[in-house]
Copies of this chain bind each other. A is one copy, B any other.
Amino acid sequence: MQFTTFTIQNVSENSSGLRSTQQVLRCLYSRRAVPSINHIYSTKPSLPPNSLAWAYNISRSCSTYSSGQSSFSLRSHTCGELCSSHVDEEVTLCGWIQYLRQDLFVILRDFSGLVQILIPQDESKSELKNAFLGLTVESVIMVKGRVRCRPEGQENKKMSTGEIEVCAESMEVLNTCRKLPFEIKEFVKKSEALRMQYRYLDLRSPRMQYNLRLRSQMVMKMREYLCNLHRFVDVETPTLFKRTPGGAKEFVVPSGDPGKFYSLPQSPQQFKQLLMVAGIDRYFQLARCYRDEGSKPDRQPEFTQVDIEISFVDQAGVMSLIEGLVHYSWPEDKGQINVPFPSMTYEEAIRDYGVDKPDTRFGMKLVDVTTAFQESQIEFIKDALLKPSGCIQAICVPEGTKYLKGKDLEFLKQAAKTQYGQRPLLGKLRLQCVELLESYGVPVRDPSVFHFLWVVDFPLFLPKEDNPEMLEAAHHPFTAPVPEDAHLLYTQPRKVRGQHYDLVLNGCEVGGGSIRIHNASQQLYVLDTILKEDPSLLSHLLEALDSGAPPHGGIALGLDRLVSIIVGAPSIRDIIAFPKSFRGHDLMSRAPDFVSEEDLKPYHISVVWPSADIEGQQDNSV
CA distance A601 to B610 in the complex (A): 10
Known: A203-B279, A253-B251. A178 touches B599 (CB 8 A): no
B37 lies within 8 A of A316 (CB): yes
Find chain B residues with CB under 8 A from A312 CB: 73-75, 94, 142, 174
Instruction: Say if the beta carbon of A256 comes within 8 Å of chain B.
Output: yes
> A578 contacts which of B271, B310, B584 (Cβ < 8 Å)?
B271
CA distance A342 to B64 in the complex (A): 15
A593 lies within 8 A of B547 (CB): no
A34-59 near B? 1/0 per residue, CB < 8 Å: 11111101000000000000000001
Find chain B residues with CB under 8 A from A32 CB: 316, 319-320, 340, 343, 454
A279 lies within 8 A of B209 (CB): yes
A235-267 near B? 1/0 per residue, CB < 8 Å: 111111111000010011111111111111000
Find chain B residues with CB under 8 A from A533 CB: none
Please report which residues of chain A, range 168-198, place their CB below 8 angstroms from some CB of chain B when the two chains form the complex.
174-178, 180, 198
> A274 contacts which of B200, B263, B280 (Cβ < 8 Å)?
B200
B576 lies within 8 A of A200 (CB): no
Interface size on A, residues (CB 8 A): 170
Please report which residues of chain A, range 280-318, place their CB below 8 angstroms from some CB of chain B when the two chains form the complex.
280-282, 288, 290, 292, 294, 301-302, 304, 310-318
B35 lies within 8 A of A279 (CB): no
> A550 contacts which of B140, B202, B292, B314 (Cβ < 8 Å)?
B140
A110 CB to nearest chain B CB (Å): 7
Please report which residues of chain A, range 514-532, place their CB below 8 angstroms from some CB of chain B when the two chains form the complex.
518-519
Instruction: Say if the beta carbon of A507 comes within 8 Å of chain B.
Output: no
A30 lies within 8 A of B310 (CB): no
Instruction: Say if the beta carbon of A124 comes within 8 Å of chain B.
Output: no
B318 lies within 8 A of A72 (CB): yes
Instruction: Say if the beta carbon of A321 comes within 8 Å of chain B.
Output: yes
A228 lies within 8 A of B234 (CB): no
Instruction: Say if the beta carbon of A608 comes within 8 Å of chain B.
Output: yes
B68 lies within 8 A of A236 (CB): no
Please report which residues of chain A, range 477-529, place their CB below 8 angstroms from some CB of chain B when the two chains form the complex.
483-484, 518-519
Return the chain B residue nearest A594 by Cβ.
B259
Instruction: Say if the beta carbon of A128 comes within 8 Å of chain B.
Output: no
A609 lies within 8 A of B604 (CB): yes
CA distance A279 to B109 in the complex (A): 9
A316 lies within 8 A of B547 (CB): no
Instruction: Say if the beta carbon of A345 comes within 8 Å of chain B.
Output: yes
B212 lies within 8 A of A220 (CB): no
B204 lies within 8 A of A278 (CB): yes
Please report which residues of chain A, range 54-78, place their CB below 8 angstroms from some CB of chain B when the two chains form the complex.
59, 63-65, 67-69, 71-75
A551 lies within 8 A of B174 (CB): yes
Find chain B residues with CB under 8 A from A37 CB: 314-316
A212-227 near B? 1/0 per residue, CB < 8 Å: 1101110110011001
Instruction: Say if the beta carbon of A368 comes within 8 Å of chain B.
Output: no
CA distance A586 to B317 in the complex (A): 33
Find chain B residues with CB under 8 A from A302 CB: 238-240
Find chain B residues with CB under 8 A from A138 CB: 547-548
B261 lies within 8 A of A593 (CB): yes
B36 lies within 8 A of A316 (CB): yes
Instruction: Say if the beta carbon of A476 comes within 8 Å of chain B.
Output: no
CA distance A312 to B92 in the complex (A): 11
> A252 contacts which of B203, B345, B599 (Cβ < 8 Å)?
B599
Return the chain B residue nearest A4 by Cβ.
B317
CA distance A233 to B301 in the complex (A): 23
CA distance A72 to B313 in the complex (A): 7
B256 lies within 8 A of A292 (CB): yes
CA distance A319 to B313 in the complex (A): 45
A488 CB to nearest chain B CB (Å): 14
Instruction: Say if the beta carbon of A148 comes within 8 Å of chain B.
Output: no
Known: A216-B233, A230-B72, A456-B30. A589 touches B63 (CB 8 A): no
A310 CB to nearest chain B CB (Å): 7
A243 lies within 8 A of B174 (CB): no
CA distance A239 to B303 in the complex (A): 10
Known: A175-B519, A234-B220. A614 touches B258 (CB 8 A): yes
Instruction: Say if the beta carbon of A22 comes within 8 Å of chain B.
Output: yes
> A237 contacts which of B241, B578, B604, B610 (Cβ < 8 Å)?
B578
Instruction: Say if the beta carbon of A106 comes within 8 Å of chain B.
Output: no
Please report which residues of chain A, range 531-564, place their CB below 8 angstroms from some CB of chain B when the two chains form the complex.
540, 544-551
B281 lies within 8 A of A110 (CB): yes
21 contacts between A and B (CB under 8 A): A22-B484, A29-B316, A30-B343, A31-B342, A31-B343, A32-B319, A63-B339, A64-B339, A94-B312, A110-B279, A175-B551, A178-B546, A178-B547, A200-B274, A204-B279, A213-B233, A242-B586, A261-B593, A262-B592, A263-B591, A604-B607
